[in-house]
Amino acid sequence: MSQYKELIDKKRLPKHIAIIMDGNGRWAKKMGNLRIFGHENGVTSVRETTEAAAELGINYLTLYAFSTENWNRPKEEVDALMNLLVKTIEAETHTLAKNNVKLLTIGDTSRMPKETASRLQQCIEQTANNTGLHLVLALSYSSRWEITEAIRNMVNDGQTGKLTAANIDENTINSYLATANIPDPELLIRTSGEYRISNFLLWQIAYTELYFTEVLWPDFRKDDLYQAIVNYQSRERRFGKTSEQVTQ
């Protein structure tokens, strides 16, 4: 029985939850196993979290699965992660389709092995018409990559006259990011007791509530998500205003 689920106010759910899934390697080490064993077990946490988010009626769940910087890990780990990614997504596509989950990715997929990218693309197409939870996988993603790309594209559009400096506002910048059309997350969770952002959604989390937990990602379960949401709902989001202004 869930300790936290019943404490959630269904009327004040975050529309978008983002998660930095961290601690797979340490979890495996604790068990005396190879790092990849941690990644494999992290898949269960992805499945549970996705299911919990869909059941609650969350609109967007963004999972940081592989960062630009993660390309610098040992080749065996990178290869194993790419294989695990495709294997998992292909095995889960049927369930995602059944549960009306729409799969999206953000990130520089051009850096991924061709085979991995094309199989991933197939799964995205298979869920493209779904209208429930948007499951956004951040793959080969980093915020500085995303912002650099956005600026490059804006300058290009400036040169062809599609964009003028005077017309640039925050919405324009949003529309050039990989997350165009995705609302900013209200809640960002990081597991494994690390207190940093690691190049994730820097622009988008300007006013996001941050939640850190010691739980290692392979141990993260539905109740951990519920607990994070209950904690989020206990906070007063003031957006620069006074407490009196927002409680009136």
27 sits near Mg ion (criterion: CB under 5 A): no
User: How far is the C-alpha of 181 from the C-alpha of 125, rounded, in Å?
Assistant: 18
Distances (CA, A) of 6 to 55, 74, 164, 225, 227: 13, 43, 50, 13, 10
Question: Quick one: 21 or 112, whose CB is closer to ligand IPE?
Answer: 21
22 sits near Mg ion (criterion: CB under 5 A): yes
Burial of 166 (0-12, 13-18, 19+ CB in 10 A): exposed
24 sits near ligand IPE (criterion: CB under 6 A): yes
21 sits near ligand IPE (criterion: CB under 6 A): yes
User: How far is the C-alpha of 180 from the C-alpha of 173, rounded, in Å?
Assistant: 9
44, 198, 231, 233: which one binds ligand IPE (CB under 6 A)? 198
Short-list 41, 82, 44, 87, CA closest to 65: 82
User: How far is the C-alpha of 205 from the C-alpha of 189, rounded, in Å?
Assistant: 11
Stretch that binds Mg ion, among 14-22, 37-45, 133-141, 201-209 (CB under 5 A): 14-22
Residues 6+ apart with CB under 8 A from 89: 103, 119, 120, 123
216 sits near Mg ion (criterion: CB under 5 A): no
19 sits near ligand IPE (criterion: CB under 6 A): no
196 sits near ligand IPE (criterion: CB under 6 A): yes
Joined tokens for residue 138: 């951040």
Helix (H, G, I), strand (E, B) or coil at 119: helix
Distance of closest approach, residue 67 Cβ to ligand IPE, in angstroms: 4
Stretch that binds ligand IPE, among 59-67, 122-130, 146-154, 164-172 (CB under 6 A): 59-67
Distance of closest approach, residue 23 Cβ to ligand IPE, in angstroms: 4
> Measured between alpha carbons, how far apart are the two ends of the chain, in Å?
36
Question: Quick one: 116 or 154, whose CB is closer to ligand IPE?
Answer: 116
8, 13, 18, 20: which one binds ligand IPE (CB under 6 A)? 20
Residues annotated as catalytic are: 22, 70
Binding stretches for ligand IPE (CB under 6 A):
20-26, 64-67, 69-70, 81, 192, 194, 196, 198, 217
